[in-house]
Amino acid sequence: MPPLHHHLRRQLRLRSRLAALRFKNVLVAAAFCLTVFYFLSRSESPSEVVLLERHMNSGPPSHPFTVVKSSVDWGDIEYRHPPREQLAQLPKPAGKGGLPRVQHRFGKESSAARQTREERRDAVLQLTRRCWDSYRKYAWKQDALLPLSKDGRGQFSGWAATLVDSLDTLWMMGLRDQFDEAVAAVAEIDFGLSSAPQVNIFETNIRYLGGLMAAYDLSGREVLLHKAIELGDLIYGGFNTENRMPVDNINFQAAMEGSGLLVEGNVVSASPGTLTLELTRLSQLTGDPKYYDAITRVVELFYRGQNQTALPGLFPMFVSMSREDVTTGGTFTLGGCADSLYEYFPKMHALLSGAHPQLAALTRGFMDAAKRYLFFRPMVPHNDDILISGNVNVDQAGVPNLDPETEHLACFVGGTFALAGRLFQSEEDVEVGARLTRGCVYAYKSFATGMMPERLNMIPCERDKPCMWDEERWVEERAKRPEYKPHLPKGFTTAKDPRYILRPEAIESVFYMWRITGDAEWQEAAWDMFQAVAKGTATETGSAAVLDVTVALPQLPLDDYMESFWIAETLKYFYLIFSPPDLISLDKYVLNTEAHPFLRPHP
């Protein structure tokens, strides 16, 4: 009965909008009190955080716009495979205490420390402005900037990926005019047209949906929620399959017809595993449980399978959503293809205020197994106490073999361990997170350009034994590697992929370590990394990916590409490290895998 259905949905939306309105009034009042309190209690210039609150109430946008409805109403498709049972509802948090505190309790900063921090922050701001200005000038409304040819390129359906991905960064940096201009462009995006016949559900979810919702959470601009719902309904259409498991690629035409999509037999585990946070947040924002319902079945599948794999606690790199099999396979990694599956277990735990016990079990199970099987101490010249996340292949006989290869993508895990360590009150895991993060910082420092290669190999020490440098062993091990090159620093046996493509994961973990421990070591590491990366990637227009970071030429060989995650993630993390620690506090927000902050509901 479509009319009733429509009526219900309208009611739901109306109710959620009213709730949002009430919430906004409370916020306005709270921000006002905060501002007054601030000026009564201190006489210095206002902090960035108060400025952020003030942005929230500072009148209409500077760029007027009209909202253009997408040419397909994704919320109005008749699905061949609607949910069969009653919809799962968002769980209610138990108790009223909330989760344990995540961030360090920062004391008052000396004026010298503040001056240094602000100079560094301004350097990050200037670079971000340059990159944004170039995007605006040469690639406006396209997915990515080509920084060398000064042109733009499509990549993710042509919905202006860099523009949407950058919104919250612009807001946090106080680039208000740029933000408003970008929002006016968002109002015209047509999610009923895709430049590619297949829509990648993972990228669309983390970059576009995540970007829109975070920018809405920060700015309160209704048009962003409106567009997020349009797009969320398209992603929701990806569950229109016989077993209600999500597809990896949405066939745009079939999705529009509602006739049913064919779920793939084999996908990387991060693809279904990285829809959870965004779809949960969308249910929280709209009050409509359907998005959460869709994803909770995927969580259930991973929960049931966690102890049935060849490495109990971890999942194989490839899973089958068509056979609902997440246990068959012998390749295990925290790097590409799997990474954010694991990252989202503790983050979902945070977003749901600990109310879903399966996510606590998934988090603890993965962390225990990762410590046992994947992490190793590499043998390095000065015996630094660091950890590296490697890969494991389980052979026919069920024996796990460590492959001491890591990649930049795996560098997120230090931050995830520190965050989960705080959420589950395990200081031991915070310390493991610190050693993992130091491992990535070490890799940056070791190479001639101060940047870490995309993929590399080291030499593992034996577990639970002293780990001392042995140059002969390095010579032996490197001889077994055809990819070894004589100019590689001591301790490394390959730089299999020598590029640095503007990725965030290492600085992301440094950000978590700084916010969680308050140890100045991390701000210093971040500054070294920023200087190296800013210099190595520099172009006339901003920044470009580097083809080889292992040789320090005066001009590094560059790739004509600036991924949207450079502004969305990498520059944002640098900026936040040099901002007051209550700007995007980890006790208030949880960041998705594209660094988009979602407000954590407070019980």
CB of 354 to ligand NAG, least distance (A): 16
Locate tokens 């606590």: which residue? 360
| Identity of residue 32 | F
Question: Is 427 in the active site?
Answer: no
Rounded Cα distance between 366 and 356, Å, is 16
Which C-beta is closer to ligand NAG: that of 351 or that of 362? Answer: 362
CB of 429 to ligand NAG, least distance (A): 16
Catalytic entry in 230, 233, 405, 454: 454
For every residue of 170-221, which 3-state class applies, written as one string? HHHCCCHHHHHHHHHHHCCCCCCCCCCCEEEHHHHHHHHHHHHHHHHHHHCC
Which C-beta is closer to ligand NAG: that of 231 or that of 299? Answer: 299
Which C-beta is closer to ligand NAG: that of 291 or that of 345? Answer: 345
CB-neighbour burial class of residue 101 (10 A; exposed 0-12, middle 13-18, buried 19+): middle
Those residues with Cβ within 8 angstroms of residue 300's Cβ, 6 or more apart along the chain or in another chain? 358
Backbone angles phi, psi at 207, to 5 degrees: -85, -55
DSSP-derived pairing of the beta strands 375-376 and 388-389: antiparallel
Site string for ligand NAG, 357-396 (x = CB under 6 A): ----x---x-------------------------------
Which C-beta is closer to ligand NAG: that of 89 or that of 307? Answer: 307
Which C-beta is closer to ligand NAG: that of 365 or that of 581? Answer: 365
Which C-beta is closer to ligand NAG: that of 28 or that of 361? Answer: 361
CB of 275 to ligand NAG, least distance (A): 21
Q: How many CA atoms does the CB half-sphere of 75 hold within 13 Å? A: 19
Site string for ligand NAG, 324-363 (x = CB under 6 A): -------------------------------------x--
Q: Tell whether 593 is in a known binding site.
A: yes
CB of 361 to ligand NAG, least distance (A): 5
Question: Is 343 in the active site?
Answer: no
Instruction: Select from 157, 306, 457, 537 the one that contacts ligand NAG (CB under 6 A).
Output: 306
CA distances from 569 to 176, 282, 395, 511, 575 (A): 19, 21, 37, 11, 10
SS3 501: coil
Is 216:198 a contact under the CB 8 Å cutoff?
Answer: no
Catalytic entry in 203, 233, 563, 569: 203
Rounded Cα distance between 52 and 188, Å, is 26
CB of 89 to ligand NAG, least distance (A): 22
CB of 313 to ligand NAG, least distance (A): 7
308 binds ligand NAG (CB under 6 A): no
Q: Both tokens of residue 50?
A: 């108060």
DSSP-derived pairing of the beta strands 405-407 and 455-457: antiparallel
CB of 358 to ligand NAG, least distance (A): 8
| Identity of residue 71 | S
Of 432-451, which residues contact ligand NAG (CB under 6 A)?
none
61-69, 153-161, 304-312, 577-585 -> range binding ligand NAG (CB under 6 A): 304-312
Question: Is 133 in the active site?
Answer: no
307 binds ligand NAG (CB under 6 A): yes
201-209, 238-246, 299-307, 582-590 -> range binding ligand NAG (CB under 6 A): 299-307
> Residue 338, Cα to own-chain centre: how many angstroms?
13
Catalytic entry in 165, 180, 288, 339: 339
Catalytic entry in 143, 477, 505, 508: 505
Which C-beta is closer to ligand NAG: that of 338 or that of 369? Answer: 369
Sign of the torsion angle spanned by Cα atoms 65, 176, 62, 181: negative
- Eight-state DSSP code of residue 531: H
303 binds ligand NAG (CB under 6 A): yes
Is 140:178 a contact under the CB 8 Å cutoff?
Answer: no
Is 519:511 a contact under the CB 8 Å cutoff?
Answer: no
- Eight-state DSSP code of residue 569: I
Rounded Cα distance between 581 and 527, Å, is 16
Question: Is 470 in the active site?
Answer: no
210-218, 300-308, 441-449, 470-478 -> range binding ligand NAG (CB under 6 A): 300-308
Binding site listing: 593
| Contacting residues toward ligand NAG, per CB under 6 A | 303-304, 306-307, 361, 365
Binding site listing for Ca(2+): 593
Catalytic residues, which ones?
203, 339, 454, 505
